[in-house]
Protein backbone atom coordinates (compact mmCIF):
# COMPACT_ATOMS: atom_id res chain seq x y z
CA UNK A 1 0.00 0.00 0.00
CA UNK A 2 3.00 2.30 0.16
CA UNK A 3 2.51 3.12 -3.55
CA UNK A 4 -1.07 4.25 -2.98
CA UNK A 5 -2.05 7.80 -2.18
CA UNK A 6 -5.19 9.05 -0.42
CA UNK A 7 -7.18 9.26 -3.66
CA UNK A 8 -6.22 5.72 -4.72
CA UNK A 9 -7.46 4.45 -1.36
CA UNK A 10 -10.70 6.45 -1.72
CA UNK A 11 -11.25 4.92 -5.17
CA UNK A 12 -10.61 1.41 -3.82
CA UNK A 13 -13.03 1.95 -0.93
CA UNK A 14 -15.72 3.21 -3.29
CA UNK A 15 -15.26 0.34 -5.74
CA UNK A 16 -15.33 -2.22 -2.91
CA UNK A 17 -18.72 -0.94 -1.83
CA UNK A 18 -20.08 -0.60 -5.39
CA UNK A 19 -18.07 -1.76 -8.39
CA UNK A 20 -20.80 -0.47 -10.73
CA UNK A 21 -19.81 3.15 -10.18
CA UNK A 22 -18.96 4.83 -13.44
CA UNK A 23 -15.74 6.74 -13.90
CA UNK A 24 -17.77 9.95 -13.81
CA UNK A 25 -19.39 8.98 -10.48
CA UNK A 26 -15.98 8.04 -9.03
CA UNK A 27 -14.50 11.31 -10.25
CA UNK A 28 -17.27 13.33 -8.58
CA UNK A 29 -16.77 11.51 -5.27
CA UNK A 30 -12.97 11.98 -5.19
CA UNK A 31 -13.08 15.53 -6.63
CA UNK A 32 -11.07 14.85 -9.79
CA UNK A 33 -11.92 14.90 -13.46
CA UNK A 34 -12.76 11.67 -15.26
CA UNK A 35 -9.49 11.19 -17.16
CA UNK A 36 -7.17 10.99 -14.12
CA UNK A 37 -9.67 8.73 -12.31
CA UNK A 38 -9.88 6.45 -15.34
CA UNK A 39 -6.07 6.29 -15.49
CA UNK A 40 -5.85 5.57 -11.74
CA UNK A 41 -8.37 2.73 -11.96
CA UNK A 42 -6.53 1.20 -14.93
CA UNK A 43 -3.24 1.47 -13.01
CA UNK A 44 -4.81 -0.16 -9.92
CA UNK A 45 -6.09 -2.99 -12.12
CA UNK A 46 -2.76 -3.43 -13.94
CA UNK A 47 -0.78 -3.51 -10.68
CA UNK A 48 -3.15 -6.11 -9.22
CA UNK A 49 -4.76 -4.03 -6.48
CA UNK A 50 -8.08 -4.69 -8.20
CA UNK A 51 -8.23 -8.38 -9.05
CA UNK A 52 -11.70 -8.52 -10.61
CA UNK A 53 -15.23 -7.18 -10.47
CA UNK A 54 -18.06 -9.43 -9.31
CA UNK A 55 -21.76 -9.39 -8.54
CA UNK A 56 -22.59 -10.55 -5.00
CA UNK A 57 -25.63 -12.82 -5.24
CA UNK A 58 -28.24 -13.63 -2.61
CA UNK A 59 -27.65 -17.28 -1.57
CA UNK A 60 -31.30 -17.75 -0.55
CA UNK A 61 -32.55 -16.64 -3.94
CA UNK A 62 -30.00 -18.90 -5.62
CA UNK A 63 -31.30 -21.87 -3.57
CA UNK A 64 -28.04 -22.11 -1.57
CA UNK A 65 -29.42 -21.20 1.84
CA UNK A 66 -27.18 -23.42 3.97
CA UNK A 67 -23.62 -22.26 4.60
CA UNK A 68 -21.25 -24.65 6.34
CA UNK A 69 -17.69 -24.15 7.51
CA UNK A 70 -15.92 -27.46 7.31
CA UNK A 71 -12.56 -28.04 9.01
CA UNK A 72 -10.48 -30.72 7.31
CA UNK A 73 -7.54 -32.70 8.65
CA UNK A 74 -5.47 -34.74 6.23
CA UNK A 75 -4.31 -38.26 7.10
CA UNK A 76 -0.75 -37.49 6.02
CA UNK A 77 1.17 -34.35 5.18
CA UNK A 78 3.13 -34.94 2.01
CA UNK A 79 3.50 -32.59 -0.92
CA UNK A 80 1.64 -34.98 -3.24
CA UNK A 81 -1.30 -35.45 -0.86
CA UNK A 82 -1.56 -31.70 -0.24
CA UNK A 83 -1.47 -30.85 -3.94
CA UNK A 84 -4.03 -33.54 -4.75
CA UNK A 85 -6.37 -32.27 -2.02
CA UNK A 86 -6.13 -28.71 -3.31
CA UNK A 87 -6.77 -29.88 -6.88
CA UNK A 88 -9.79 -31.95 -5.82
CA UNK A 89 -11.30 -29.17 -3.69
CA UNK A 90 -10.86 -26.57 -6.44
CA UNK A 91 -13.07 -28.71 -8.71
CA UNK A 92 -16.03 -28.88 -6.30
CA UNK A 93 -18.52 -26.09 -7.02
CA UNK A 94 -20.13 -26.21 -3.56
CA UNK A 95 -16.80 -25.18 -2.00
CA UNK A 96 -16.79 -21.41 -2.43
CA UNK A 97 -13.69 -20.72 -0.32
CA UNK A 98 -10.78 -22.85 0.88
CA UNK A 99 -7.99 -21.82 3.23
CA UNK A 100 -4.89 -23.69 4.35
CA UNK A 101 -4.84 -22.97 8.10
CA UNK A 102 -2.69 -23.61 11.15
CA UNK A 103 -3.85 -25.17 14.38
CA UNK A 104 -5.92 -28.28 14.91
CA UNK A 105 -6.99 -28.51 11.25
CA UNK A 106 -5.25 -28.30 7.90
CA UNK A 107 -7.94 -26.64 5.78
CA UNK A 108 -11.06 -24.56 6.31
CA UNK A 109 -13.74 -24.85 3.63
CA UNK A 110 -16.76 -22.64 3.11
CA UNK A 111 -19.48 -24.78 1.56
CA UNK A 112 -22.78 -23.46 0.18
CA UNK A 113 -25.62 -25.89 -0.49
CA UNK A 114 -29.42 -25.91 -0.60
CA UNK A 115 -30.10 -27.66 2.70
CA UNK A 116 -28.94 -30.35 5.14
CA UNK A 117 -29.85 -33.15 2.73
CA UNK A 118 -27.61 -31.62 0.07
CA UNK A 119 -24.80 -31.15 2.59
CA UNK A 120 -25.05 -34.82 3.52
CA UNK A 121 -24.77 -35.66 -0.18
CA UNK A 122 -21.74 -33.35 -0.44
CA UNK A 123 -20.04 -35.08 2.51
CA UNK A 124 -20.75 -38.59 1.28
CA UNK A 125 -20.10 -38.13 -2.43
CA UNK A 126 -17.42 -35.45 -2.53
CA UNK A 127 -15.49 -35.46 0.73
CA UNK A 128 -16.13 -39.18 1.21
CA UNK A 129 -14.54 -39.98 -2.13
CA UNK A 130 -11.29 -38.17 -1.28
CA UNK A 131 -8.75 -40.72 -0.04
CA UNK A 132 -6.57 -38.62 2.20
CA UNK A 133 -9.06 -36.84 4.44
CA UNK A 134 -8.50 -37.92 8.03
CA UNK A 135 -11.40 -36.00 9.55
CA UNK A 136 -13.99 -33.36 8.75
CA UNK A 137 -15.68 -31.17 11.35
CA UNK A 138 -18.71 -29.15 10.24
CA UNK A 139 -20.04 -25.92 11.69
CA UNK A 140 -23.44 -24.80 10.40
CA UNK A 141 -24.22 -21.11 9.98
CA UNK A 142 -27.46 -20.20 11.74
CA UNK A 143 -27.41 -16.54 10.69
CA UNK A 144 -25.06 -14.18 8.89
CA UNK A 145 -24.18 -11.17 11.04
CA UNK A 146 -21.56 -9.47 8.87
CA UNK A 147 -20.21 -10.22 5.43
CA UNK A 148 -18.48 -7.12 4.14
CA UNK A 149 -16.80 -8.63 1.04
CA UNK A 150 -14.21 -5.89 1.52
CA UNK A 151 -10.65 -5.50 2.72
CA UNK A 152 -10.43 -2.88 5.49
CA UNK A 153 -8.58 0.20 4.19
pLDDT tens-place string over residues 31-79: 999 999 999 999 999 999 999 999 999 999 999 999 999 999 999 999 9
Tell me if 125 sits within 8 A of 59, measured CB to CB.
Answer: no
Mean pLDDT computed over 84-94: 96
In what order do the strands lie in the sheet containing 107-113? 95-100, 107-113, 66-74, 133-140
Using the CB atoms, write b or e for 20-56: b if 16+ within 10 Å: ebebeebbeebebeeeebeebbeebeeeebbeeeeee
pLDDT number for residue 131: 87
Q: Which fold has domain 66-140?
A: Alpha-Beta Plaits (3.30.70)
Question: For the segment 100-139, what is each residue's pLDDT rounded down to a tens digit?
Answer: 999 999 999 999 999 999 999 999 999 999 989 999 999 9
In three-state secondary structure terms, 89 is helix
Question: What pLDDT does residue 52 have?
Answer: 95
* pTM of the predicted protein model: 0.88
Q: Is residue 64 within 8 Å of 141, Cβ to Cβ?
A: no
Is 90 exceeded by the pLDDT of residue 1?
A: no
- Stretch 142-149: mean pLDDT: 94
Q: What is the pLDDT of residue 135?
A: 95
- Domain coordinates in residue numbering, the chain: 6-46, 66-140
For domain 6-46, the CATH architecture is Orthogonal Bundle (1.10)
Helix (H/G/I), strand (E/B), else coil: 72: strand
Q: Are the beta carbons of 70 and 111 closer than 8 angstroms?
A: yes
Amino acid sequence: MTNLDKIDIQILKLLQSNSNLTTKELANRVNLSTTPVFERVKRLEKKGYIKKYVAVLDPEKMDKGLTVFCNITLKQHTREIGHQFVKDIAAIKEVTECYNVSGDYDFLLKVMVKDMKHYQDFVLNHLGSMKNIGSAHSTFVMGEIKNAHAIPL
